[in-house]
Chains A and B, each alone.
Chain A
């Protein structure tokens, strides 16, 4: 069965420090991976995706993610965190049945402190 795991419920980081939000996946076939962010009382905003090609994917708001096939991971990163990055982050994988639906991880709350 396909699945996505985000092992950390919450990540705390000081403003200006690098941040990493972890994600591992389990799929059959080639993975199509996504990161979304949800601010309080808002919908989900697309950050970035990995389909194929370069393992380092750059996305919105200075975020990037590194695809690692051997470790089945797709960690979200940012070199310098901002207080405004504080939000709920979801990793997702596209279902391999080609129906377009996404399978989401449980989410990680990122708290950036001044």
Chain B
């Protein structure tokens, strides 16, 4: 498995501001993803964080709103830009280790007021 940490664990932000979430893994991984879990909902993939190139976004998510960086194989950031209350969610990073097993970070609980 992998040890995945996320910072911050939670935050309360005002609308119109931006928050950058960090994801750190204790080993080098090729595949890293960012998911969103809205209140009472399932997980939805935001994007695949590609090392050394632009992230691959899923339908409904755009780079201007959710810019992602992946400077190396152990670290990534997700920024939630120009936040609105609808962005209140848990944001989780995940990595693929070994035989297709995907492990998740503890999540960042974001509340936008």
Contacts and interface: CB of A to CB of B under 8 A. Distances in A.
A46 B105 CA distance: 11
Interface residues of A, number: 21
Contacts of A107: 42
A46 B103 contact: yes
Interface residues of B, number: 24
Contacts, number: 54
B100 A49 contact: yes
A90 B94 CA distance: 15
Contacts of B92: 43-44
A46 B48 contact: no
A102 B9 CA distance: 23
Interface of A: 32, 34, 36, 41-46, 49, 51, 90, 94, 99-102, 104-107
